Each structure stands twice: as C-alpha cells, then as structure tokens.
Structure 1
C-alpha cells in the first residue's frame, strides 16, 4: 500500500505521485545526457530507457511517445533556465552581484547544461517536425525572457532598454557559441579567457552607451506667483 504524505494543510500527496515525479525527472535527465552524447537521431526510446536504467514499458507509462518525453524535457529546461536568469537579474538589480558573476553563472548554470546542446540539436535536426517546432518555440520564449530579464539586471547602468537588448544579445550569442565550441573541443583555459574578454567588452559597451545617452532635460523652473516690480 502506497504511503500518503502530507503536502500542506488540507492537501495530501500519494506516494505513487512522488515516485512518478522522480521517474519523470530521471527520464528527462537521461534524455538530456543521451542527446548531448549521441545526437537526437540516435536517442531512441529504447536507448533512453536503457540510459535511465528502466524498461521501455516503464518509460512509456510516463511518456507514451518519445516526442512527448523530448518536448517535456525541453519545457523543463526552459523553466529551470528562466528561474536561474530571474534570480541573477534580481541579484544584479539589487547590487548583490556584478557583471562578471552574472556572465560566469549564466554560462555555468545554463549554457553548460547538457540540455542546451540537446535543445540546439533538436531545433536544427528536428526542423519541420512536431518536436522541432515545439523546441523552437520554447527557445524563442527563453531568449525573449533573457532580454526582458536583462533589462531588469542592467537597469542600474543607466543605459536605455533598447540598447540593453543589444548587450544581452551579445552575451547570449557569445555564450551559446562558446558552449558549442567547448562541446567540440573542451579547453577550460580558453573558456575562462573568452568569459573574461566578454565581461571586459560588456563594461566598455555600457560605458560607451552611457556616454552617448542624451542628457536628461532639466525641469523648467517654476514661475514666481508675484511679478517683479
């Protein structure tokens, strides 16, 4: 008999539900790892089940098709990545972190995840398929959220939001390219050099944008209620 656990006051959760949640998490992790290792075409349902250490029947119980598993894996990555970036944006806007930490954590916590290579592979090789369309939509939403959260992160810089969007595009594009290169040939020293140069470039760009921003128009002086004699 499955154990009934208290979730919150007035709510319960069945032990089977907890096992299901844990199993789906294992299957998503196995999917991320396998596609990053062998590519999406070789990541069959049977291969994913073997990677996870479960029977194919057990996998199909939670995900009736491989496409559903892959799409859920992509959606879970989007939620996880967005939460990480939202936290970084909060820390930046509150002055708890700096540009170097923002870039480093963004790369380590989001772009170095197996899921990013998995998502890019799915978007390219799965083009014009249900999976490819779903992943493309998920990544489009993710990169749009980077821009929105980037404005919050860099709002203290005094740079207009439309220019911050360009800065965020530079950061995200560089980190994405670096992750792909690192996947082809891992070179930690080069990664650190690129991240350092990227941070330096962002500082230079922010300084230039602040200098180019039009000065605020001073508020007009209030007219005296009494005329001078």
Structure 2
C-alpha cells in the first residue's frame, strides 16, 4: 500500500501555474512523510526533503518558507485525509455495510500506517511539543482523535450503548492501533500485526454485544406491559 500523500489532494486549480504549484506542494508533502518516517524529524532537514523530492532547496522555499511550515501543512493535509477515511468507515458500519473487523483493519491500514501519522507521533515523542510546530501538530492530533470519538459514536450507535461507553471503546481501538503502529515501526512483523488486529476486533465485538446480553438494560428498554382494565360491575 502506498501511504504517501496523493498528488490530487489539493483543491482544483484554475490555471496552469496553480496546477503546477499544487502538484509541487503535494510532492513536497509526500517526500516529507517518507523521509521523517524513515530517518526521524531531526535528520529530515530542508535540504534532505528537497533532495528526496528531486527539487532545489530554493524551489522548496518558494512554496514553504520554512521546513516547519512544510511539516505543519503535511500534518494538516493528513488530518483531512484521515478524517474523510474514518467518516466513510463510520457510515459503512452504521448502515451495516461493513463489520467491526473490517473497520479496525482498514482504520489501521489506511490511517495508522500512513507515513504522516508516524511523522506526527515522532514530533510528539521527540520533545518538540513546546515548539511552534509541536503545538500545531498537537492541535491537529487532538482534533483528529476527537473526530474519531464523534465518528465512532455514529458507527456503533446501533449497539444501544450510551455515547460515553462508545467513547471508551473508541479510545481502546485508537490507543491499541497507535501503540501497534509504533511497535511495528520499530520491529516490523506482519503476522503479529494481523493477530493483534484480529484480537482487537474480537474484543470490540464482545464489548458491543455485552450490552445486548445485559438483562437489566433489556428490561429497561422493554416497554411496560399493558394492564388490563377491570370492568365496572
């Protein structure tokens, strides 16, 4: 799977110069995602990003005045792509078009395996949270994980669980996938990844079905029996 930014993730341009500019920015973001995922934030200098992209440093600075501006824009575009993916998954689950295992698997493969997510996590763990770029990335991640909760409620509302319980389940999913992505980045093992995803899907299924097996809740949902009126003598 190609986890780099798409060349078509910019708004439609209206003339040739805008088209070329949009394509160049997309290429620079893709190069940034790849390089930081491979060598980390500190080694991904502006010169290294330009070299990976196959352009001069001057050409890169024409579109992004600083490396930090490029990294923040890369993170922002990833946020939008990720949110669109999760929104589609949530809609499919809520309408019964996909199951929990598919939801968990695609969320990991299409969002958590993206190079841009590794970029943002690397920024967080490298001690840059107090810098301008760190603050921007933290805001983006905070918004992204909040959207996971909102979309998760939409996806699993048919389970009958209250929103606060669904948020707990979404936190379990997101936390597990985030940790799995970090672990797999350190020591890749595809068989282990698939085993963890299958176990996570099973656990989520159990949590969702537990509500339906709860007698107290079923009784609370059950409409009161109609009482038979006695006839007057």
State the TM-score, normalizing by the size of structure 1. 0.89
The residue matched to 1:191 in structure 2 has which SS? Answer: helix
Question: 1:121 maps to what in 2?
Answer: 122
Supply the distance in 2 between the matched residues of 1:69 and 1:210 (Cα, whole angstroms): 48
Supply the distance in 2 between the matched residues of 1:24 and 1:220 (Cα, whole angstroms): 65
Question: 2:178 maps to what in 1?
Answer: 176
Question: 2:205 maps to what in 1?
Answer: 203
Query: Aligned-pair distance for 1:218?
Result: 2.5
Query: Aligned-pair distance for 1:42?
Result: 1.0
Query: Aligned-pair distance for 1:124?
Result: 2.4
Does structure 2 conserve the Cα–Cα contact (< 8 Å) formed by 1:124 and 1:132?
Answer: no
Question: 1:44 maps to what in 2?
Answer: 45
Does structure 2 conserve the Cα–Cα contact (< 8 Å) formed by 1:33 and 1:114?
Answer: yes
Query: Aligned-pair distance for 1:12?
Result: 7.8
Supply the distance in 1 between the matched residues of 2:192 and 2:37 (Cα, whole angstroms): 21
Which of 215, 221, 232 in structure 2 is aligned with 1:216? 221
Does structure 1 conserve the Cα–Cα contact (< 8 Å) formed by 2:93 and 2:156?
Answer: yes
Cα deviation digits, residues 4-45 of structure 1 (max 9, x gap): xxxxxxx98111101111000000010011111111111111
Supply the distance in 2 between the matched residues of 1:199 and 1:100 (Cα, whole angstroms): 5
Change (3 A) 1:12 1:119: closer
Q: How does 1:70-219 map to 2 (within 5 A)?
A: 70-125=71-126, 126-212=128-214, 214=217, 215-216=220-221, 218=223
Cα deviation digits, residues 172-202 of structure 1 (max 9, x gap): 1111111111111111111111111111111
Cα deviation digits, residues 138-159 of structure 1 (max 9, x gap): 0000000000000001111111
- C-alpha RMSD of the superposition: 1.9
Does structure 2 conserve the Cα–Cα contact (< 8 Å) formed by 1:28 and 1:70?
Answer: yes
Does structure 2 conserve the Cα–Cα contact (< 8 Å) formed by 1:127 and 1:133?
Answer: yes
Supply the distance in 2 between the matched residues of 1:194 and 1:87 (Cα, whole angstroms): 23
Question: 2:5 maps to what in 1?
Answer: none
The residue matched to 1:218 in structure 2 has which SS? Answer: coil
Supply the distance in 2 between the matched residues of 1:14 and 1:38 (Cα, whole angstroms): 36
Does structure 2 conserve the Cα–Cα contact (< 8 Å) formed by 1:123 and 1:133?
Answer: no
Does structure 1 conserve the Cα–Cα contact (< 8 Å) formed by 2:35 and 2:44?
Answer: yes
Supply the distance in 2 between the matched residues of 1:219 and 1:16 (Cα, whole angstroms): 69
Change (3 A) 1:160 1:12: closer
The residue matched to 1:43 in structure 2 has which SS? Answer: coil
Query: Aligned-pair distance for 1:123?
Result: 1.9
Gaps of 5+ in 2: 1-11
State the TM-score, normalizing by the size of structure 2. 0.88
Gaps of 5+ in 1: 1-10
